[in-house]
Amino acid sequence: MEKELIFITVIGRDRKGIVASISNLLYRRNLNIEDIVQKIIKDYFVMAMLVDIKDSKCSFEKLSKDLVELGKRMNLIIQVQHENIFKMMHRI
Amino acid sequence: MTFTLDEIYETARMILFEKLDIRTTTLGINIKDCVHSNFQTFLNRVHHKIVKYGKVLTKKARQVEIKYGVPIVNKRISITPISLVMETHAKTKKFLQMAKTIDNAAKESGIDYIGGFGALVHKGITNAEKILIRCLPEILASTERVCSFINAGSTNSGLNIDAVNIAGEILFETAHKTKNGSGCTKLVVFVNAPEDNPFMAGAFHGPGEPDFSLNIGISGPGVVRSVVEKNPDCDITQLAEIIKRTVFKITRAGELIGRELANDIGVPFGIVDISLAPTPLPGDSVAQIIEAFGIEKIGAHGSTFAIALLMDAVKKGGAMASGNVGGLSGTFIPVSEDAGMAEAVEKGALTLEKIESFTSVCSVGLDMVAIPGDTPPEIISAIIADILAIGIINNKTTATRIIPVPGKKAGEKVFFGGLLGEMPVMEVKKLSSSKFMKRGGRMPSPLIALKN
């Protein structure tokens, strides 16, 4: 079955437990992390996770809301977006 | 990873920090099929159709917004120009009833503005259209969400000066019926009005459109300003190039969201309007893009050239990104809705005449411009005629949204609130053109119209 990929972008100050907290939230919803990249861009810690939501146990809306709330608790900005927007904006 | 982290961050940054959003999704709805000889049945059909599709639009737009993380700021509806469907019910009372019905339907379905309560009178005015236009002040004062337009000319038919004269009178009347003249913010006077424009207040679902059409208006002044600020020393050619590339990206996002939303609603996708649309929020200003080019304040000499450069780059980037570019696709320079424009007026940098010259290189014209409340109707008509003549001769859309503010003089501040913003009332020349305007009639179509 074809994958349905989303990007979770995390922006903020680097700290312990960021990957662990997000991974744990995703694991509990039966989601697989396909790839992770991270680096410092202009003093911001920026991380992107590529996640397959094909087998997700919850709706996109709920997942997005939970991740944004997790971000707020950890003082991070978390943005959840379907892969298609990156395909459209960055590939011809 | 199929994308670099810089690409992913660029998209996130545009949305989170530079206010990239979909300014409007406007569902065009044909209401010609609602017409009935029994007026109550007609009203019921219109109400039912608007509420049915309005609710679907607001629900589906929310889902797409979450999926792509791009805010969709406004969900709106445009309908068939009301004059076309009311010919057999052309009574003042019935126009008022229809306006109330549409206003209530918009409210019920969570739509903030509904456009189309206007008339196409570019060649001449029918009796029904005259009745409609004459009752617009009452309609704009007594409804909350209904927007109106008058298309008073076109390059192919010339400029209907009789309609322009009436427009000045009804703007004056509307202003004096509403607080701060705010009823006038819901009325646009056009030439060459596009039938698929998604932006209010001038949106309508043109007679050449299908049953439905989902049109998208993207935003992005903040994104363009940011990329200009990051390149403070590049030459003009390079500046045009970086704007073009940026607009390409934001238009692609608009195209994706528009197509998906149209598909989810089950209606045809119409167009992406690539106009840069400012808001009064800090940083979301077209004036500030021009200032980032290296101009002290918008209105300074060089500003018209700067807007021309910006416009051309926006069009090239947008046209490459979408096969369905349409609507106005210019750059909006509303004064009260753009904090940078309002500030330039306050500092004395920007005058009515300079905005008039901007009209020659971008669309819209005098948009959200407050003028003294005692400006006589014939001077308002003459201001409108100046802007519309630019559109007629240059074969492009131009328009006015002029707000005479009762009791206020030039220099005094007026607050419209929310996205409508605030600005100082602008000075208007008191010299009369009334003898010329009162000649009436129609300016013939220009030579440029003879293309066949």
Integer Cα distance of B30 and B255 in angstroms: 23
Domain assignment present for B377: yes
pLDDT at B93: 98
Domain assignment present for B421: yes
pLDDT at B42 over 80: yes
Integer Cα distance of B29 and B116 in angstroms: 10
pLDDT at B405: 98
3-state secondary structure chain A: CCCCEEEEEEEECCCCCHHHHHHHHHHHCCCEEEEEEEEEECCEEEEEEEEECCCCCCCHHHHHHHHHHHHHHCCCEEEEEECHHHHHHHCC
Is residue B272 domain-shared with residue B167, that is, in the same domain?
no
Is residue B2 very low, low, confident or very high in pLDDT (cuts 50, 70, 90)? confident
Question: Chain A closest CA to B318's CA: distance in Å?
Answer: 12
Name chain A contacts of B2, Cβ cutoff 8 Å: 50, 83, 86
Q: Where are the domains of chain A?
A: 5-90
pLDDT at A6 over 90: yes
Is residue B172 domain-shared with residue B233, that is, in the same domain?
no
Q: Which of A39, A41, A79 sits opposite B69 (nearest CB)?
A: A79
Domain assignment present for B12: no
Domain assignment present for B14: no
- The torsion of the CA quartet A47, A49, A50, A54, rounded to 10 degrees, works out to -150
Is residue B283 very low, low, confident or very high in pLDDT (cuts 50, 70, 90)? confident
ipTM: 0.93
φ, ψ at B443 (rounded to 5°): -75, 125
Residue range(s) defining the domain that contains residue B417? 217-445
Question: What mean pLDDT comes out for the span B223-235?
Answer: 95
Question: What mean pLDDT comes out for the span B23-50?
Answer: 97
Q: A73-84: buried (b, 16+ CB within 10 Å) or exposed (e) per residue? A: ebebbbbbbbbb
Interface test with B, best of A86, A87, A91, A92 (most B CBs within 10 A): A86
Is residue B144 domain-shared with residue B222, that is, in the same domain?
no
Domain assignment present for B206: no
- Taking an 8 Å cut-off on Cβ atoms, the answer to whether A41 and B1 are in contact is no
Question: What mean pLDDT comes out for the span B14-38?
Answer: 95
- Taking an 8 Å cut-off on Cβ atoms, the answer to whether A89 and B255 are in contact is no
B272's enclosing H/E stretch is strand B269-273
Is residue B122 domain-shared with residue B267, that is, in the same domain?
no
CB–CB contacts below 8 A, A to B: 78
Integer Cα distance of B125 and B122 in angstroms: 8
Integer Cα distance of B258 and B263 in angstroms: 8
pLDDT at A42: 78
Question: What mean pLDDT comes out for the span B53-58?
Answer: 97
Question: What mean pLDDT comes out for the span B5-32?
Answer: 93
Q: Among candidates B293, B290, B399, B380, which has minimal Cα distance to B338?
A: B290
Question: What mean pLDDT comes out for the span A26-37?
Answer: 92
pLDDT at B220 over 90: no
pLDDT tens-digit readout, B116-156: 999 999 999 999 999 999 999 999 999 999 999 999 999 99
The CATH code for residues A5-90 is 3.30.70.260
Q: Backbone dihedral region of A7: left (phi > 0), alpha (psi from -120 to 50 degrees) or beta?
A: beta
pLDDT tens-digit readout, B164-214: 999 999 999 999 999 999 999 999 999 999 999 999 999 999 999 999 999
Domain assignment present for B53: yes
Is residue B275 domain-shared with residue B415, that is, in the same domain?
yes
Contact B316, B244 (CB under 8 A): yes
φ, ψ at B148 (rounded to 5°): -130, 160
Question: Chain B closest CA to A7's CA: distance in Å?
Answer: 8
Q: What is the CA radius of gyration of chain A?
A: 13
Name chain B contacts of A88, Cβ cutoff 8 Å: 252-253, 255-256
Other Cβ atoms less than 10 A from the Cβ of A15: the count is 10
Domain assignment present for B9: no
Is residue B363 very low, low, confident or very high in pLDDT (cuts 50, 70, 90)? confident
**Cis omega (within 30 of 0) for bond into B201:** yes
Question: Chain B closest CA to A20's CA: distance in Å?
Answer: 20
The DSSP secondary structure of B195-214, one letter per residue, reads: TT--SSSS----TTS-SEEE
Is residue B331 very low, low, confident or very high in pLDDT (cuts 50, 70, 90)? confident
Name chain B contacts of A41, Cβ cutoff 8 Å: 5-6, 9
Q: What CATH number is associated with residue B184?
A: 3.20.70.20
Is residue B270 domain-shared with residue B357, that is, in the same domain?
yes
Is residue B326 very low, low, confident or very high in pLDDT (cuts 50, 70, 90)? very high
- Across chain B, what does the average pLDDT equal? 96
Integer Cα distance of B233 and B304 in angstroms: 20
pLDDT at A15 over 90: no
Q: Count structural domains, chain B.
A: 2
Q: Which two three-digit tokens encode residue B194?
A: 């596009």
Domain assignment present for B230: yes
The percent of residues above 90 in pLDDT, for chain B, comes to 94
Is residue B149 domain-shared with residue B248, that is, in the same domain?
no
Question: What mean pLDDT comes out for the span B296-311?
Answer: 97
pLDDT at A57: 79
pLDDT tens-digit readout, A32-85: 999 999 998 877 899 999 999 988 878 899 999 999 999 999 999 999 999 999
- Taking an 8 Å cut-off on Cβ atoms, the answer to whether B8 and A41 are in contact is no
Is residue B19 very low, low, confident or very high in pLDDT (cuts 50, 70, 90)? confident
Q: Among candidates B138, B155, B196, which has minimal Cα distance to B324?
A: B196
Interface test with B, best of A46, A56, A90, A91 (most B CBs within 10 A): A90
Q: Which of A38, A60, A86 sits opposite B11 (nearest CB)?
A: A86
Residue B401 DSSP SS3:
strand
- The 3-state DSSP composition of chain B as helix, strand, coil percent (nearest 5) reads 50, 15, 35
